Amino acid sequence: MEIKEYIEEKKKSIDSALENLLFPLKEYSALYPALSYSLLSGGKRIRPVIALATYEANKEDSRPIIPFACAIEIVHTYSLIHDDLPIMDDSNMRRGRPTLHRVYGSDMALLAGDALLSLAFEIVSSTSHEKVFTAEKLLAVVREFGKATGIRGLVGGQVMDMVTMNEENVEESMVIYIDSRKTGELMKLAIRTGAILGDAENSELVALSEFAENFGISYQIVDDILDEVATVEVTGKDTGKDRKNRKATFIALYGVDRAREIAKDFVNKSKDYLKPFGEKYKVLMDIAELSLQRMK
Ligand code: GRG
């Protein structure tokens, strides 16, 4: 199957599982419309697809990990909602429509983000998974979620993203630090969740984590390039913001052309980690390669 077809097929199963996971919350909260506005608004679903692909490289049927893959998308959606808030990036558009706070207000957007983060932990720690996975594996995955979303992960990346704004002479190593946490950590969470639950060998887990970190950095560079060169009609979100906010990016350091080369270098480096396993993780390598097409 072609990689684009593969992604489309998995995306469909994630979209419908997300709808099913959210539906029971309808009766509990006035927040439901805000949650569904953000969560069921499209999005490439690349992180859950990566989790499924990693699992499928080790096991035949990826259905048991669909809730975990959804939980990763739920965390990602929370991060986008909070990132868009006026106290953060102050964005007006996301996924081709007004950002959540523009429609429901910052108070509801803040709470929607909080509720989604908690929901992700509720989903992954559900006792129903104990029919398929050992308690030890499940606890390991919960730990991965904690680490990836916290101060050593997403939040840590976002903190340095804010702190370095408007700063002169930010070092390349700091840009890598920010990108690897802001974006790499959720890619790593997706890969490691698929690998841990799929019983991948420890050597593979190490290589997959390196792949994810390097791919994540490249993914963020491509996102930054689009922010610089594309329009809202193409990206579905505000553009030109990094320049306006004087963000620490590879584009600010070296310009768009060099940033394109660096994005490719990170994808090549990421693929090198998976080459020792032959065709086993080809889908992941194809996803990484495909992601570069967005910046053309
Ligand atoms: C607790 C205040 C607080 C923040 C949480 C906000 C935050 C931490 C982190 C934000 C990190 C962030 C928004 C990184 C951007 C990552 C990125 C490349 C997003 C775009 O991903 P795509 O292209 O988006 O996969 P779609 O819309 O397709 O899902």
Span 12-27, pLDDT tens digits? 999 999 999 999 999 9
CA-closest residue to ligand 1 atom 11: 182
Query: If you write DSSP's letter for every residue of 115-169 in order, what string do you get?
Result: HHHHHHHHHHT-GGGGGTS-HHHHHHHHHHHHHHHSTTTHHHHHHHHHHTTT-SS
Residue 242 CA, ligand 1 centroid: distance in Å = 14
Average pLDDT score over residue span 234-238: 95
Q: Is 185 in the pocket of ligand 1 (CB under 6 A)?
A: no
Measured in Å, residue 214 CA sits from the centre of ligand 1 at 17
Segment 96-124, tens digit of pLDDT: 999 999 999 999 999 999 999 999 999 99
Q: What is the pLDDT of residue 75?
A: 98
Fold of 3-295: Farnesyl Diphosphate Synthase (1.10.600)
Mean pLDDT for the chain overall: 97
CB-based burial of residue 141 (10 Å sphere; 0-12 exposed, 13-18 middle, 19+ buried)? buried
**pLDDT in the model for residue 1:** 78
Q: Please, which pLDDT band fits residue 129 given cuts at 50, 70 and 90?
A: very high
Best probe residue, ligand 1, of 41, 80, 189, 237 (max atoms within 8 Å of C-beta): 80
The pLDDT tens digits of the residues spanning 242-272 come to: 999 999 999 999 999 999 999 999 999 999 9
| Statement: residue 296 has pLDDT above 80 | no
Is residue 79 in contact with ligand 1, taking CB distance under 6 Å? yes
What residue spans define the domains of the chain? 3-295
Query: Does the model's pTM come out above 0.95?
Result: yes
CA dist 225 and 218 (Å) reads 10
Mutate to test the pocket of ligand 1, among 10, 38, 83 (most ligand atoms within 8 A of CB): 83
